Amino acid sequence: MSKVISGFSKFSKEEKITWLAANYFSNQQEIIKTLKQYWNEDSALQQLHDDFIENTITNFYMPYGIAPNFVINGKEMVIPMVVEESSVVAAASLVAKFWSTRGGFKASVVSTKKIGQVHFMYQGKKSDLSTYFEAKKPKLLEATAAITKNMEKRGGGILDIQLVDKTDDLSNYYQLFVTFETKDSMGANFINSCLEAMANEFRNESVEIVMSILSNYVPECLVRAEVSCKVEELGGDNPRRFAKKFEQAVKIAAVEPYRAVTHNKGIMNGIDSVVLATGNDFRAIEAGAHAYAAKDGKYKSLTHCEITNGIFKFWIEIPLAVGTVGGLTALHPMAKLSLDMMNRPNARELMEIMATAGLAQNFAALRALTTKGIQHGHMKMHLMNILNQLGANEQQKDCIVKQFENKTVSHSAVVEAFNQLKN
């Protein structure tokens, strides 16, 4: 019997859950109970969450943690992080404390341009198209005037419109390449509305509009964060040796794509955690960051390191298109709380905070990798997850945590210790 259904979106939440349980689960009552236990008791708050997306049946919880001790451009702050991976928040906190006594993090926004394109096909002479574009360009701006009015009041708007010939890549393919400034808004809806208005104005019997859409590749919406200190101030038994190995690890990620992907994933552990906590679009940021990592034709590290005249310097440059107004940042109570926690940063300041979180995470990972190995700290943090999976009670947890204080944690070793304790 077919399970294809019409009108599912019109069902109540109760009806959606009942249909799901009846058609895809054998333990129907248990599934319904599990889904409902994550409903918020505050009906108004639950309704707010239900309205974020279509066909909502429950909430999916993620840990919300805070990383204290950050000093960014001389300001002390706590950074909120939403992430399920153990050790991410702890690592960021430890690194933040480490650098807080060594001048802290320095961050700055390089540029904030965002990009959108009207993609179209044209089979005539390029000279005729160029003439048509020049004549139409003022009208393209006029067509968007009602949309850009409020943005222009805030200092944003359309920066430029260019005609781009892409016929070497695809026959008859051209585009209107448009740059925007969206200030504290991420600007996706604003950009797309402008592009569609331009497309309607630009099309004629010879110009076939294919699509109008923003780009999540924003190489000119760029932020930089860095740390530096004298090599001797890095501490440890042999700071010079540590600094050199650290530099080598970064250089390996610059030439070896297999390493660079994992290297950059660690950076995004930090960035995505803050992106989620502030209600921004982590998929767009991920896509843009990885495209930027491959901008030279080979996928490379997003961070860089150098040792010059006894000074250790470690930095990141990364494109981050984020917003502090509009979207979920204005709707989600926890997103608003996150921004309040960081003293209501504007979009540029939030870019700096996110880049700093990514740099801190990468420093933590590389420090572990080049010293005692990544698994030592990670598995210590993962120990509690293993014990929860095994159903250990508090007394058993305390006993096993003490047992592994000076031992390497592995899943099999924890299981063996738990079974021995039970017996």
Instruction: Give CA–CA dist 333/59, Å, rounded.
Output: 14
- The catalytic position among 281, 300, 352, 382 is 281
Rounded Cα distance, 325 and 320, in Å:
15
> CB–CB of 78/103 below 8 Å?
no
Dihedral through CA 357, CA 362, CA 367, CA 368, nearest 10? 100
Sign, CA torsion 257/263/266/272: negative
| Pair 308, 146: CB distance under 8 Å | no
Q: How far apart are CA 4 and CA 293, in angstroms?
A: 42
Closest by CA to 36, choosing from 62, 59, 11, is 59
Q: Which of 265, 290, 332, 397 is catalytic?
A: 265
How many CA atoms lie within 13 Å of 220's alpha carbon, on the beta-carbon side? 11
142 is catalytic: no
Is 304 known to be catalytic? no
85 is catalytic: yes
Catalytic residue among 136, 300, 378, 380: 378
CA 262 to mean position of chain CA atoms: 15
Q: What is d(CA 197, CA 214) in angstroms, rounded to the nearest whole number?
A: 13
| Structure-token match 């331009």, residue found | 198
Report residue 102 as tokens: 């060594």
The verdict on whether 265 is a catalytic residue reads yes
Phi, psi for residue 16 in degrees, rounded to 5? -60, -45
Candidate list 85, 201, 286, 317, residue with the active-site label:
85
Alpha-carbon gap, residue 215 to 186, rounded angstroms: 12
Please list the active-site residues.
85, 265, 281, 378
